[in-house]
Structure 1
């Protein structure tokens, strides 16, 4: 970064910090200057620095402004990298219509934050999401990471209906188009039952990246997920996809049984380092992990 650019970024950071600590009206913040700075390749670093100087500032952690003020500030800030926000229709009940997929869980928010900080993992690639739920993670990736195509998937009829509604609500058509012409990825919503899906069905997606968030809530579902992962390793025409699985550690057994089954299936894994920026509201004390899986070789299904 040139000296004058560094000086400008420092001045901008100070301006955001002072206004936020003083709880000034949001229109008074230098949003236009921020938009100009975000055109620079180091724009994501600037956003993270602004978070550290505002909502993550030590003073604000102890004696912050109102929750409403902080949320309004974050909502406006989140719009800057992608030029838009994510709008969701959700159920108000944790379990509704016999499924937990009508609400957004913490690991989905955490994975969305990680994706926004690491857009290169998804840019110009085809992404398959397993167990999309309300669709928050996928919509954030579609808006901020520029994938070539994105496939939302779930098996519950009510979840699929809500997913289609949320996709349309955020301006994504559910019909094929040329991404380069429209500026948005090809988005589809697919019914995918992990116990019934076939290798040919998975192969047809030709996914470069596969993600899943907060789907490790019981032993049977974990076994079904590992079965799908083994099939994905076997059915790709070229290289196997990159796989990222995020989950909330609700007990010592949550991740342990998943890792045990991965080891048994011969699927290598590594934990992704924590990201630095928190953009979405979820429990601070939640222990959330993201595993990157390496699908290689042939696995018996």
Structure 2
């Protein structure tokens, strides 16, 4: 979607940005206090026409529902969010496409934090879209995929050869498969059961001219990584918001070491990109120290410059590029 949506210019300067701000927060089920309602109200009071609100309502037409009814339903979901177990969020891309994800309302549910989208995932998805050449024609393994925002974004906006989603929690894997299919992507037939996913998949046939990446979903427990999994030998390994518990740090470093050693014989080896919200500086420092101990190098690289998703920009998020030290 462009920065100045067509039809909004008549509402005055800055209207396009206001529409985008409202749209991104509203359709990702943001809290009411995160919506720019005072600015929107002021804009509407000072406007002689309804161009601005019409454009907001028109964004719903892509869903096939009546705009007003759909808007009120979505608003109702926001207001009732504390009572809901699941909700559907829409993350809008610059192209005008949207990524629709089924997510849990509670941060922790069913014994896992993997059923919600975290800020570092939005941060990394923005970076991936700005740096799509990194993923072109590459095989990618994502550790701790959660419900899929990062991987779905890369599969829809970049051109990877292969994308392997992974997680260890069965309920997360179930929702992940559903989200992948509901965004028009095709899964390897060996990795999912259509009855389990309970989602209608349209246009299953993909022509050779429009062949997307080979997408698979695997269960991967970091404490019990199999040799078969290590031999996947991805070109790129990515992970977001996986450094939050000191007990997880050693397992994560061990997993990265196994994959990097296995891929060392490849001409360029593997590269790891890891985005983390720095919640506990001590835990984050411990992770870097453990990398150093096993000879894995890391460097901080610049994050995204374009604001696409509605997360808190004051949050400290760091993006690391991780390889064996002699590759840096």
TM-score, length-scaled by structure 2: 0.67
Aligned-residue offset at 1:275: 2.1
Q: What is the count of residue pairs matched by the alignment?
A: 253
Aligned counterparts of 2:105 and 2:290: Cα–Cα separation in 1: 33
Distance in 1 separating the partners of 2:9 and 2:223 = 50
Name the SS of the counterpart of 2:315 in structure 1: coil
Determine the C-alpha separation between the residues in 2 that align with 1:179 and 1:245: 34
Distance 1:99 1:240 in 2: 32
Q: Is 2:137–2:159's contact at 8 Å kept on the other side of the alignment? A: yes
Residue of structure 1 equivalent to 2:237: 210
- Residue 165 of structure 1 corresponds to 178
What SS is found at the alignment partner of 1:108? Answer: helix
Q: 1:258 aligns with which of 271, 287, 294?
A: 287
**2:71 match:** none
1:245 aligns with 2:238: no
State the Cα deviation string for residues 106-130 of structure 1 (Å, max 9, x = none): 1000000000110011111111000
User: Quick check: 2:167–2:218 contact (8 Å CA) kept in 1?
Assistant: yes
**Residues 1:21 and 2:28 are matched in the alignment:** no
Deviation for aligned residue 1:19: 4.8
Partner of 1:152: 165
Change (3 A) 1:164 1:20: farther
Q: 2:151 aligns with which of 121, 128, 138?
A: 138
Which secondary structure state, in structure 2, belongs to the residue aligned with residue 86 of structure 1? strand
Return 5+ residue gaps in structure 1 as ranges.
1-8, 27-60
Change (3 A) 1:24 1:141: closer
Displacement of 1:276 in angstroms is 1.0
Partner of 1:224: 251
Residues 73 and 294 from structure 1, CA distance in 2 versus in 1: closer, same or farther, beyond 3 angstroms?
A: farther
Residues 16 and 244 (structure 1), Cα distance of their counterparts in 2 relative to 1, 3 Å cut: farther
- Counterpart of 1:190 (choices 218, 227, 239) is 218
Instruction: Check conservation: 2:244, 2:280, Cα contact below 8 A.
Output: no
Matched-pair contact (CA < 8 Å) for 2:129–2:158? yes
Among residues 229, 234, 242, which one is paired with 1:201 in the alignment?
Answer: 229
Pick the aligned partner of 1:94 from 107, 111, 116: 107
Cα deviations across residues 156-196 of structure 1 (Å, max 9, x unaligned)?
00000011000101111112798954331111100000000
Aligned CA RMSD, in angstroms, stands at: 3.7
Q: Structure 1 residues 21, 161: closer, same or farther in 2, change over 3 A?
A: same
Runs of 4+ aligned residues of structure 1 deviating over 3 Å after TM superposition are 15-20, 22-26, 63-66, 68-81, 176-183
CA distance in 2, matches of 1:180, 1:72: 37
Q: 1:233 maps to what in 2?
A: 260
Looking at structure 1, the residues matched to 206 and 242 of structure 2 have their Cα atoms a distance apart, in angstroms, of: 32
Tell me how far 1:254 sits from its aligned partner.
Answer: 3.5
For 1:106-117, list aligned pairs within 5 A.
106-117=119-130
Report matched runs for 1:53-132 at 5 Å.
65=40, 78-81=92-95, 84-132=97-145
Deviations 1:188-221, CA, capped at 9 Å, x for gaps? 1000000001233221x22111000000011121
- Equivalent residue for 1:282? 311
Kindly indicate whether the alpha-carbon contact (under 8 Å) linking 2:93 and 2:308 is maintained by their aligned counterparts in 1.
Answer: no
How far the C-alpha of 1:274 sits from its partner, in A, is 2.6
CA distance in 1, matches of 2:320, 2:273: 6
